[in-house]
Each structure stands twice: as structure tokens, then as C-alpha cells.
Amino acid sequence: MARMDYNRTAKRVFVGLSGGVDSSVSAALLKRAGYNVTGVFIRVWQPDFFECGWRDDRLDAMRICAKLDIPFRELNLEKEYKREVVDYMIREYKAGKTPNPDVMCNRFIKFGAFYNWARTEGADFIATGHYARIQPLTINYLPLTQRPEVKSQRLKVKSHGLFVGSDPQKDQSYFLWQIRQEQLPHILFPVGGMKKPEVRKLAKKFGLITADKKDSQGLCFIGKVDMKEFLSHYIKEKPGKVLNEKGNVIGEHKGIFFYTIGERFGLPLFLRGGMRGSEKAQYVIAKDFRKNTLTVSEKTKGLLLGATWKVRIERCNWITSPKKGSTYSARLRYRQPFQNCKMKSVTAHKALISFAKPQQPASGQSLVLYDGEMMLGGGIIV
């Protein structure tokens, strides 16, 4: 089990309890380590056109607090979630882009409104069940006024780094790139150094009712939803043509904003006139928002069509600043294998990144940069 190396001189921690096993075990570990723990259930906006399970999750969070003998509190962030996550997501899809609502949920809800509220309520830390790690860093700094040979007068500047989770199958660092450096000393990820089977084993050891509860999937907080069905309540269908790699019309779509680059289009495709198209899997490889057309292809061919060696990002947030000319690795989507790259140019808000292999970026998605296991930050793909 990962050792708890956190500074406990300031002990009060608010744990975001989702009603799942990861946050439950996080609260239990912190309680056992001697922290003054409060469980907080964050209530967010949920659509009224399908059944939601937030009441069950809230009840599970309350039961966890009772089991651990810690206070339970509820924080209503419905307005913030609707404005910053849902409205943003709908707006991006309407513009033909591929949004990342989980990134925005972490920025504005968990490490935004919840973080700020907890700190004003007297919490020294907030904690969540994310699979990521935070570690202190020490940087040797020589003031510009000092001569290089005067090594005795170097200053040690303390900062923190955000690292991938120890379980590569559960690592969530990709969704955390908008956390700010100054927040890291006040954030705890108790299960970030563990693997999932170990977390479930601990849940059973602690006697938690969430030990065998299935992991939540889908949209942050809301859970597993059919995105096309969800969007259909807010975006009207706009039928258009589906093209193959040669530009020939092979079918129709209901609206290009319902599809993302790399998404499986569906089998089989039917040609106009009732003829059956390819029996092989087809994937979206291009979207022309102006012409309202989708281009699809077999995966083996399609992933390189329209690919690029260089990717621009904007609205960047750097937890640890990258350097121009340095080599790093990056992810352009969640769970993508690390891609070798080089920083061609970088500012506080923009960057140009060159890859060793051609990539197929989706406008609006997040590109997250890594130096080994340390996540440096990221930006929005232009």
C-alpha cells in the first residue's frame, strides 16, 4: 500500500465523496492517518429526461460517513455545473468541435468551486479519489545577480509536481491538466499510488459498502449517457452526406456535431439505392463543418488520412513550465499511448508541438504534455 507522506501539521481535509469506492477508500485512509476528515457530496445539475442516480450516490456517501464516523456535508453546485460544463459542451459540439467535459468539471467544479468553498470553510486540504500523484519538488535557483561560481548562495525553491497514477489502466492525470501549481500543496490523492484491486481490497477491509460497487463511467458526475441522445435534446438534427476516402457519397448522417474524429461510424454502411456498403468497421476521419460532410474509412487506412506532424494548442495551463526545444511525450485523448514529441514554441497561453509520428487531432480536445511520469500541463487543440 502506498505510504501517506502528507504533511499533517494542518490536519483538516474535505473529501469529495461521489458514492464510489475510490473516494470512499480515500476518506478511510485519511481518517486512519490521523486527519480531521469531513465528507462532502457535491450535487450537480442533471437532465430531467432520463433517470439519474444521484440520490443513491448521495445515500452511499452518507453511509460511508456514518461508517467512518466523520461529518457529512452537501455542496450544491447545480448552477455552476450547468453553466461551466453542460453549456460549454453543447456550445462546442454546435461549433463542430470535440469538447472535454471531464476536464472542465475538474477545473470549475472539483478544483474550482469545491476547492474554493472548502478553503473558505477552513479546510487545509481537499481530497478526491483520482488516480494521480502529487509530489514535492526542490529546484536549485541561482539569482541572476549572482556569479555562477558563487554556488553557496543558490536558493532552493519548493514547488510540487503532478504525476501519473501508479495504475496505468486507471491513470486520470489527463483530466487534471488545468489544476494550478499553487493548488497542489492543498490537494490530496490518497489512492493515486495504488492499483484498483488494492483499493477494492482495502474497501472490504474497512467494511465499506462501496467495495463491490461498479466504477462510474461516462460524463463527469452524471454517469453513463448516450451522448448523441443527450445532445439531441439541445441540438437539432442537420442531415448531410457521408463520404469515403475518395470523396464518393456512401450514405447520410444526422449531423456532424454528433460525431468525433476517430469514432466508429457504425456497421454496415448502406449506399444510396439500397446497396450494402463495406462490411468492415468504418471510422470518422474528417469533418467539414461548412459543407456538413463526414468522411469515413477503415481504421488501418483512415488514421493517417489528414494527419499532421504538428499540433497547435491554446488556453494553456502549465503546472510545470516546459522548455522550447525539449523532448517530451503527450496524449491527445484519454488513454492514448504516450506520443513522443518536441516543443517547437511555447508561451504562457500557446504552444506548437511537433510529433515523431503523425497525429490526428480533434479541435477542442485536450493535449496533455508529460516529462516522463510528470504531467506538465496542456492546452486546447486548435
Catalytic residues: 105, 220
Burial of 138 (0-12, 13-18, 19+ CB in 10 A): exposed
Contact indicator for 299, 316 with CB cutoff of 8 Å = no
Q: Which amino acid is at 332?
A: L
Bridge pairing between strands 283-288 and 293-297: antiparallel
Q: Distance between CA 17 and CA 213 in Å, rounded? A: 14
Q: Distance between CA 238 and CA 131 in Å, rounded? A: 39
Residue 374's SS3 state is strand
Bridge pairing between strands 374-381 and 155-164: antiparallel
Question: Which secondary structure element, helix H or strand E, spans residue 139, and what is its range?
Answer: strand 132-141
Spacing of C-alpha 205 from chain mean position:
29
Bridge pairing between strands 187-188 and 125-127: parallel
DSSP H stretches of helix in the chain: 21-32, 54-68, 78-81, 87-94, 101-105, 114-120, 196-206, 227-232, 299-302
Bridge pairing between strands 125-127 and 12-16: parallel
Q: Would you state the cell numbers that stand for residue 58, as one nine-digit string?
A: 448521495
Q: Distance between CA 44 and CA 87 in Å, rounded? A: 13
Q: Which amino acid is at 49?
A: F
Q: Which residue has the cell 481490497?
A: 201
**Any idea what the Cα angle at residue 158 is, between residues 152 and 159, rounded to 5°?**
145
Tell me the HSE value of 185 on the side-chain side, using a 13 A CA sphere.
Answer: 10
Q: Spell out the residues 6+ positions from residue 107 whose beta carbon is closer than 8 angstroms to its own.
A: 84, 178, 179
Q: Would you state the cell numbers that stand for residue 236, as one nine-digit string?
A: 437539432
